[in-house]
Amino acid sequence: MAKNQEIACYSPGLAGIPVTESAISSVDGSIGHLEYRGIDIEQLAEKSSFEETSFLLIYGHLPSEAELAEFTNELHHHRRIKFRIRDIMKCFPESAHPMDSLQTTVAVMGMFYPLPHNLDGHLSDEHVRTVCLNLVGKLPTLVAAHARMRRGDDPIPPRDDLSHAGNFLYMLTGNEPTLLMERIMDVAMIVHAEHTLNASTFSTIVTASTLADPYTCISAAIGSLSGPLHGGANEDVLHMLDEIGHVNRAEAYLHDKLEKKEKIAGLGHRVYKTKDPRATLLQELYVELTKEMGEDPTYEIASRIEELSRSTLGAKGICPNVDFYSGIVYRKLGIPTDLFTPIFAVARVSGWLAHWREQLGVSRIFRPMQIYIGENGQNYVPMDKR
């Protein structure tokens, strides 16, 4: 291929270039529509649970009553982590970021739950199910354990009688959440569980294409998610809202940002050209939560920023994304800011595993081309002449 032809095909970040086929999720960014396995996210948020949604993503269909009961029961019994993994976590510095802790401990899991190594990538259905149960079930425990251990507290053992969302909040705080808090966390997990081929999901399938073990694949995904251009945007939104401080300062803040052509945290998305449907759902959840826990001036500032931006950024397709309201919801639930991205991973692991499972049947390693822009034909220069 000639060099000018290569350049014509080049798209930074692979923007707009299909690299795989998938039946897991789809997005229509022009109208703000997201589906998991053909079911729109609004229906799942209203009628499903995270456990059921995870089954749907991983296995490709809604479970029967018996299938869901069995999956949920197994998932609850896979929540515990080995004491040696806890011992390893005790060696982490107190300053370790929760994402670094999570990535490390997920990689470590591969040594404690080894799978057969072969060159054809074949895993039995039993092995695949155990992997999915281990990772979906244990990630909340790993996040909650580190959150407490870094403060010098003992981890709180998981409870089998609580839902996935309820148990996670319980392990974080030591208090059983109210039904509303549990439901809101459940929906937040559902809307974060999958979103087509984002950076962390792409990391999952690229790693999986080498036939690396699934714990390595998910560790790679967590590493991608830890980057500030992928995860962590909801933290930036809260920092912005705290910086504004009062709703009366929102207009001046937005005007100043627009004058300087600076980005507004939580506004804009690579896919959506209208408001992210997940942002709408999280905003509605927050309003529900205030009925039980009271108002928060931070939300008033966020709402004002969204309102003011409609006629400027909104007209250009730059609208609230999922991170614009998720941080406000998590803060209202009493969750520390640096746990927001680990919670993203706790939810997204179901989607990552669905893509890992789908990739098992492909057996073709990713090997994209590059465009070389360096020099050619150079001679080696001896040290005394450099």
Concerning whether 154 is annotated as a catalytic residue, the answer is: no
Residue 373 CA to residue 94 CA, distance in Å, equals 44
How far is residue 23 CA from its own chain's centroid?
Answer: 19
Q: What one-character DSSP code corresponds to residue 377?
A: S
Are residues 220 and 257 located together in one domain of the fold? Answer: no
Q: Write out the residue range of the structural domain in which residue 146 sits.
A: 25-228+349-359
Which residues make Cβ contacts (< 8 Å) with residue 32, sequence separation at least 6? 272, 274, 275, 276, 277, 280
In a domain, 339, yes or no: no
pLDDT tens by residue, the chain, 386 residues: 444 455 557 888 888 889 999 999 999 989 999 999 999 999 999 999 999 999 999 999 999 999 999 999 999 999 999 999 999 999 999 899 999 999 999 999 999 999 887 656 688 899 999 999 999 999 999 999 999 999 999 999 999 999 999 999 999 999 999 999 999 999 999 999 999 999 999 999 999 999 999 999 999 999 999 988 888 788 889 999 999 999 999 999 999 999 999 989 999 888 999 999 999 999 998 999 998 888 888 999 999 999 999 988 998 999 999 989 999 999 999 999 999 999 999 999 999 999 999 998 887 899 998 889 999 999 999 999 99
In a domain, 184, yes or no: yes
Residue with tokens 């790993």: 142
Are residues 40 and 152 located together in one domain of the fold? Answer: yes
In a domain, 338, yes or no: no
Give the CATH number, domain containing residue 268: 1.10.230.10
Which residues make Cβ contacts (< 8 Å) with residue 242, sequence separation at least 6? 298
Residue 162 CA to residue 348 CA, distance in Å, equals 20
Out of 269, 338, 355, 384, the active site residue is 269
Give the CATH number, domain containing residue 182: 1.10.580.10
pTM: 0.93
Are residues 257 and 200 located together in one domain of the fold? Answer: no
Are residues 41 and 59 located together in one domain of the fold? Answer: yes
Give the number of domains in the chain: 2
Concerning whether 269 is annotated as a catalytic residue, the answer is: yes
In a domain, 31, yes or no: yes
Are residues 211 and 241 located together in one domain of the fold? Answer: no
What are the Cα distances from residue 132, in Å, to 124, 213, 219, 351? 13, 12, 14, 11
Helix (H) or strand (E) holding 249: none
Read off the tokens for 370. 């590059």
Are residues 219 and 105 located together in one domain of the fold? Answer: yes
Q: Fill in the amino acid letter for 103.
A: Q
In a domain, 364, yes or no: no
Out of 323, 338, 355, 384, the active site residue is 323
In a domain, 103, yes or no: yes
In a domain, 367, yes or no: no
Are residues 281 and 189 located together in one domain of the fold? Answer: no
How long a stretch of residues is the chain?
386
